Amino acid sequence: MLHISAQDVANLVSPADAVKCIHETLAAGFDPAQDFARDAKPVPGGEFLLMPSASTAGFGVKLVSVADPDPNFTGPRIQGTYVLFDGATLAPHATIDGVALTNLRTPAASLAGVRDFLADSPAPLSAVVIGTGPQGRWHARTLEDMLRGTREVAITFASRTRPADLDRWVRMGSPEAAAALSTADVIITTTTSTTPVISRKDISDTAIVVAVGSHSPQARELAADILADATVIVEDKATALREAGDVVLAIEDSALSGEDLVEIKDVLCQRSTVSLKAPIVFKTTGMAWQDLVIAQLIAQRYAH
């Protein structure tokens, strides 16, 4: 059985490749509702996630641990591995570094959902990424790679504590952060916060907001008034109503209903029309099929 390392993953599939893979899978008619549910188990210090998925070409499972937010924890927040099985023989075919796959898949899934809104204009794009951890940085890298040669991208990071290696950074709650958020074309939230980090007054009338950080029904990064005023796009309605705290809590606040949700497959297949004259929210939780299709792409390229 093959083992595909983190360096192999980086050499084989670019962030833009991963976005294209997710986008093409959805545009071809794949329905995320067919996917298996994620299974999350509490363990001391965090969660153990099992994410199985299957297609006609094969099947696989990601086994990953997610550490609870803890300033005393010095290891990577996400650790794990992916096991890919062959669809014809049903035999294990490869293991893939789970962190490298997750770092590639998560921003690819986030940005595949809004790519068509961003690629239509040649004008410079201003983006704010809230959160400076690995996922914030990977989302920034993926946004730049996806739009390379199409649009100039200016990214500002925002967080409570300044990392030494980031020049374009503002402190959340500062006048500089307020100015950056109010004029941003795209805002990507990648925090571990369980309470809102932005509200409707912070963003423009045409902002595209991608909410990534929460995959628990008790946690949210966006205030309910953002979702009340926006077109809210999700990967799958049932998954969002089960796992997406931004959605679940907005519904509890009577700011949103389940019927208001628009599934990404309907947007990409042009079965739903989205107005660009009001905010757009794409709330992602991450789904196992996204890992599978990118794992299959990685393994295919490794073999050739």
pTM: 0.92
Q: What is the pLDDT of residue 213?
A: 87
Of the pLDDT bands very low, low, confident and very high (cuts 50, 70, 90), residue 153 is: very high
Whether the per-residue pLDDT at 271 is higher than 80: the answer is: no
Q: What is the pLDDT of residue 289?
A: 96
Radius of gyration of the chain (CA): 18
287 phi-psi bin (left φ>0, alpha ψ -120 to 50, beta other): beta
Burial 81-102 (b: 16+ CB within 10 A, else e): ebbbbeeeeeeebbbbbbbbbb
Asked: is 2-103+288-303 a CATH 3.30.1780.10 domain? The reply is yes
Phi, psi of 145 (to 5 degrees): -65, -40
Whether the per-residue pLDDT at 77 is higher than 90: the answer is: no
Residues 268, 271, 272: CA angle, nearest 5 degrees: 85
Q: What is the pLDDT of residue 70?
A: 83
Answer whether 279's CB lies under 8 Å from 206's CB. yes
Whether the per-residue pLDDT at 144 is higher than 80: the answer is: yes
Of the pLDDT bands very low, low, confident and very high (cuts 50, 70, 90), residue 129 is: very high
Q: Which two tokens stand for residue 82?
A: 């992916």
Whether the per-residue pLDDT at 268 is higher than 90: the answer is: no
Of the pLDDT bands very low, low, confident and very high (cuts 50, 70, 90), residue 238 is: very high
The residues, any chain, with a CB within 8 Å of residue 185's CB and separated by 6 or more, are: 118, 125, 126, 127, 206, 207, 208
AA identity, residue 125? L
Of the pLDDT bands very low, low, confident and very high (cuts 50, 70, 90), residue 139 is: very high
Q: What is the pLDDT of residue 280?
A: 96
Domain boundaries, the chain: 2-103+288-303, 121-283
| 62/30: higher pLDDT | 62
Class of domain 121-283: alpha beta
Q: What is the pLDDT of residue 78?
A: 86
| 242/122: higher pLDDT | 242
Other CB atoms within 10 A of residue 274 CB:
16
Mean pLDDT throughout 177-197? 96
Answer whether 166's CB lies under 8 Å from 133's CB. no
| 270/15: higher pLDDT | 15
The residues, any chain, with a CB within 8 Å of residue 92's CB and separated by 6 or more, are: 1, 83, 84, 85, 86
Residue-wise pLDDT for 200-233, tens only, equals 999 999 999 999 988 789 999 999 999 999 999 9
Of the pLDDT bands very low, low, confident and very high (cuts 50, 70, 90), residue 304 is: confident
Other CB atoms within 10 A of residue 268 CB:
23
Average pLDDT over the chain reads 94
